[in-house]
A and B are shown apart, each in its own frame.
Chain A
Amino acid sequence: MIQISNLRKCYWSQGARVQAVDGVDIEVRTGEIFMLLGPSGCGKTTTLRCVAGLETPDEGEIQLAEQVVFGSGGEITVPVYQRGVGMVFQSYAIWPHLSVFENVAYPLVHGRFRIDKSAVKDRVHRVLSLVGLEGFADRPAPLLSGGQQQRVALARALAYEPKVLLLDEPLSNLDAKLRAEMRVELRRLIKTLNLTSLYVTHDQDEALVLGDRIAVMGSGKILQVGAPREVYARPCSEIVADFLGAANLLEGAISAPSAGGDTVSLQTAMGTLICELPKAVVAGEKVTVMFRPEDVRLHAATALAGENSFGGVVDQALFLGGRVQCQVLVDNIKIRGETANSQVYEPGDGVMVEIPRAAIHVFF
């Protein structure tokens, strides 16, 4: 279990105070993979480094497996080398002067997690086979590919059987295809070992695929926490919606009041949108309307105009292989939508844009 409460940390950068972490509360349950997702500079890596002990927070408390490692205003500060966490770094931090075996054996031979000499060899080989690097033990570290170095870093972090595993954008240096493979493999491995993991990434796909729960961070604060599906389907603000997945965002206003639970109509620059709102609103209230491109339906211009349908002109059509991403101009408002690659639209074609009721999110 990892428990972080009210964590704060600021930096001085060129004479200006930067609040990197601003009151973060996180609880990672035992055996859970918890993703910290956010744009660069949002404080996710600083949070992780505070947990590892590489940074000293200004305020807050951190517990690792029931032990307070930082707290009481800094009275308790367990040094890095005593925290017993495993960590995978963005650069992998494989020591280039050592072989694969020596890299993985390092924590077992030097320092606090030393084990009996006779057991080292067995343990290293077991961990190496766990990450699929049997037979690479004697290879000098610099002679490995990126993916293999990533595995060595993981093996080294697992070798001393840490209580928790911290991962700092471990896949960001791999090429796209390998990254997709490693996501699945990493999740399988962590789940097999039932490790409590805190995982920092700026890649939303990675967060969605790998995580049990996701926390979206922005400007040093946690914006939303939840299971991947939940956060994707019900983002709590336009910032979360925009960062997790693509989003069409429109300014609007409620045009007719509602008592809650029934349909309301929204006035936007594109036209009037009908959607369902669970809460009571008053007419004239300003809102932001969000719907995802994959929910937008595109029809031929000749199709019958139904509910939430607007005529528009295709501005851009990007062929992405499996699907086509279209940008449609409706009254000079850019709407992004996606179609199957069997539907062929060219720029300049007239189309009918339909936004299903259920796809519309309203933020106040």
Chain B
Amino acid sequence: MRRLRGSIANAALPLACSGLALSGIVVLVLFVLYMTFVPGLPTELGFTLNHWKIVFSGRLWSKVIPNTAIIGCGAILVSISFALPLAWLLNRTNLALRTTFVTLMAVIGIIPGFILAMGWILLLDERIGIINMFVAGLLGVDTIPLSVKNNPLGIAWVIGVTLTPPIFFLLAGPMRALDPVLEEAAAVAGFTPWKTLLKVSFPLVWPGVLGALIYTFMTAVSLFEIPALLGAASGKVPVLSAEIFYAVRPAGALTATFAYGAAGVYGVLIMLPSLAALYFYLRALARGERYRVVTGKAYRPRDFALGRYRWAALAFVAFYFMLGAVLPLCVLVWSSLLPLLQIPSIESLGKISLRNYYGLLENLGGLAVIRNTALVVVSVALLVCFNSFMISWVVVRTQLPMRKLVDILAMMPHAIPGLAFAFALAMIGILCSVYLPSLPLAGTLGVIIIAHVINRLPFGTRIANSALAQVHPELEESAQICGSRHGTIMWRIVFPLVKPSMVYLVLWTAMLSFQEVTMALFLSGPHNQVLSVAIWELWDGGSVGKASAAAVAMVGVMGTLMFVFLKFTVRSTSDVIGAGRDSD
């Protein structure tokens, strides 16, 4: 007991910070559940089961769940059939230009999904898609019925293509950790290289693959922006995430009825399978531990010689890059240069102008939008970094019995869609505007920042956990012996040592928060619009050319940020490796 009191006193600040963040998560989750039993607005008292009845008697079973399932499974199929070969080709073979390709994968990974979806609409829409128009022109028909829009398979395709980079990076870890000695042993035992691949290598990376599959499913079913653009907004392909959104923010805002309770029910319905998936994800990770092979210092991955298949491999990589970024971005650039989208021809070349770029800033909402975006991005990055550090301190650096629980709670937002948190925050915002007018939440930047911070905590704590775990406890103990107290040690010793990881975390969080649209859109009001929301609304308003121009500009800014990011982290990574090598 004395010990426990001592360790609590020593970690007062980390405990307070993680307590605040984690209780916020728990309160928001419970609030979603609570909303399903409230008759109307959260300010009205009462208890009802009507929302559950209405939702379950509606199109839930006939349309929403089947669509969501098709999209989840389809996205898995698409992304894994790109990511698995890519992860192997770019990590374990002698393919040319591998490092450049890996960098390109990272760049594609940060292009906002809704921008790529806009590109795909311009490519493959039944009426306006360039490919459709081209093929229809060749065949001499009006339209061809192949479309990504209003089609669950089309939505699955676009989500699958855009989710490929994160899956690729999830798979790259196990691929690289695979000790070649195991493969060499198989070769010595008389296996052919291809047989080794199937019988030895693949079974060994299977836990990692399984983890990636579950992750894809969780992400795909909770995504809102891509299904919304491709058919959920019009109500033709309803999915769970979009049902939450349009129950609270109906498209025709003034006339429509708000269905807060129904949104809560959809929120719970989307949380439950995700939490189950998280459980299996954590189990897959734990099982991965069992397969982990201890590698010595002389470990050097041996590359698989592709031989005459290398051209096929290069073609495959190029094929993915075309689909993943080049085609959708090119069509956006093309569309941003034209008053009306049409097939490239001599005649259309004559119409090219930069007119869509004139007054771009005013179209997006002026300097206020830039200021809002900068505020959100910077404060989210710093807050995530600070809170992750504090939570990980409790998890890694103390012996407190509740640290396991703290770690699991911090992982929860990974399983629960950001939209559910945004919904709970919006409801609490309504509560505050009635009971606590001094704490303005609804329609402020603050509420968007809170949503983003919660959403990014799982990633942040993963990074901070591994960074802190790498700092040997004796480094702290020796500072204690030297007469300094906990605050000084944290600031003078531990923080400088984990700084490279924290810089990585800050930059990566900033980029993800810059491109995020779902939560920001859900929580947006007249005064807290950020760039991604402004682009969305331009598109929604039908200004395809102007929206394309803004999207091109946004990708340009992201590209610059990514360049800075890679420059910073490459340097700090080598710092970390250097320090690690010399200290052992």
Interface on A for B, CB 8 Å cutoff? 52-54, 56, 74, 80-87, 89-91, 93-97, 106-107, 110-114, 142-144, 153, 156-157, 160
B482 touches A96 (CB 8 A): no
Rounded to whole angstroms, the CA-CA distance of A93 and B494 in the bound complex is 12
Let me know if B579 is at the binding interface, CB within 8 A.
Answer: yes
Given contacts A95-B493, A96-B497, A143-B582, contact A80 B475 (CB under 8 A): no
Let me know if B477 is at the binding interface, CB within 8 A.
Answer: yes
Chain B 482-493 interface 0/1 with A at a Cβ cutoff of 8 Å (1 = within) = 111100100011
A93 touches B582 (CB 8 A): no
20 interchain pairs (CB within 8 A)?
A: A80-B477, A81-B480, A81-B485, A86-B481, A87-B481, A89-B474, A89-B477, A93-B478, A95-B478, A96-B497, A96-B582, A96-B583, A97-B497, A97-B579, A106-B492, A107-B483, A107-B484, A112-B483, A142-B578, A156-B482
B475 touches A93 (CB 8 A): yes
Let me know if B432 is at the binding interface, CB within 8 A.
Answer: no
Rounded to whole angstroms, the CA-CA distance of A91 and B474 in the bound complex is 7
Rounded to whole angstroms, the CA-CA distance of A144 and B488 in the bound complex is 26
Rounded to whole angstroms, the CA-CA distance of A107 and B492 in the bound complex is 12
A90 touches B480 (CB 8 A): no
Nearest chain A residue, comparing its CB with the CB of B493 = A95
Q: Which of B558-584 contact A (CB under 8 A)?
A: 578-579, 582-583
Rounded to whole angstroms, the CA-CA distance of A18 and B499 in the bound complex is 38
Name which of B483, B582, B583 has the most chain A CB atoms within 10 A of its CB.
B483
B490 to chain A, nearest CB (A): 12
Given contacts A56-B2, A96-B583, A156-B482, contact A91 B472 (CB under 8 A): yes
A97 touches B6 (CB 8 A): no
Given contacts A87-B478, A89-B477, contact A56 B496 (CB under 8 A): no
What number of A-B contacts does a CB cutoff of 8 Å give?
86
B483 touches A142 (CB 8 A): no
B477 touches A93 (CB 8 A): yes
Nearest chain B residue, comparing its CB with the CB of A162 = B481
B484 touches A111 (CB 8 A): yes
A336 to chain B, nearest CB (A): 34
B484 touches A54 (CB 8 A): no
Nearest chain B residue, comparing its CB with the CB of A81 = B483
Q: Which residues on the B side are within 8 Å of A95 (C-beta)? A: 475, 478-479, 493, 497
Which of the residues A89, A110, A144 comes within 8 Å of B492, measured between beta carbons? Answer: A110
A54 touches B477 (CB 8 A): yes
Q: With A85-B481, A110-B488, A160-B483 given, name 6 new contacts (CB 8 A).
A: A80-B480, A81-B482, A89-B474, A93-B478, A111-B484, A113-B483
Let me know if B290 is at the binding interface, CB within 8 A.
Answer: no
B479 touches A106 (CB 8 A): yes
Nearest chain B residue, comparing its CB with the CB of A97 = B496
Rounded to whole angstroms, the CA-CA distance of A94 and B3 in the bound complex is 28
A237 to chain B, nearest CB (A): 34
Name which of A94, A144, A153 has the most chain B CB atoms within 10 A of its CB.
A94
A92 to chain B, nearest CB (A): 8
B54 to chain A, nearest CB (A): 50
Interface on B for A, CB 8 Å cutoff? 2-3, 6, 472, 474-475, 477-485, 488, 492-493, 496-497, 499, 578-579, 582-583
Q: Which residues on the A side are within 8 Å of B475 (C-beta)? A: 93, 95
B236 to chain A, nearest CB (A): 57
Q: Which residues on the A side are within 8 Å of B488 (C-beta)? A: 110-111
A85 to chain B, nearest CB (A): 6
Q: Which residues on the B side are within 8 Å of A111 (C-beta)? A: 479, 482-485, 488
B427 to chain A, nearest CB (A): 44
Q: Which residues on the B side are within 8 Å of A107 (C-beta)? A: 482-484
B481 touches A52 (CB 8 A): yes
B159 to chain A, nearest CB (A): 43
Nearest chain A residue, comparing its CB with the CB of B479 = A106
B491 to chain A, nearest CB (A): 9
B496 to chain A, nearest CB (A): 4
Given contacts A56-B3, A93-B475, A96-B497, contact A142 B583 (CB under 8 A): yes
Nearest chain A residue, comparing its CB with the CB of B472 = A91
Which of the residues B482, B485, B492 comes within 8 Å of A160, measured between beta carbons? Answer: B482
B65 to chain A, nearest CB (A): 44
Pairs A-B, 10 closest by C-beta atoms: A111-B484, A112-B483, A107-B482, A142-B582, A111-B483, A93-B478, A93-B474, A80-B480, A113-B483, A97-B496
Rounded to whole angstroms, the CA-CA distance of A82 and B481 in the bound complex is 8
A73 to chain B, nearest CB (A): 10
Q: Which residues on the A side are within 8 Å of B481 (C-beta)? A: 52, 54, 80-81, 83, 85-87, 157
B7 to chain A, nearest CB (A): 10
Name which of A83, A110, A113 has the most chain B CB atoms within 10 A of its CB.
A110
Nearest chain A residue, comparing its CB with the CB of B488 = A110
Nearest chain A residue, comparing its CB with the CB of B6 = A56
Given contacts A56-B2, A91-B472, A110-B492, contact A96 B579 (CB under 8 A): yes
B583 touches A90 (CB 8 A): no
B478 touches A112 (CB 8 A): no
Q: Which residues on the B side are within 8 Å of A113 (C-beta)? A: 482-483
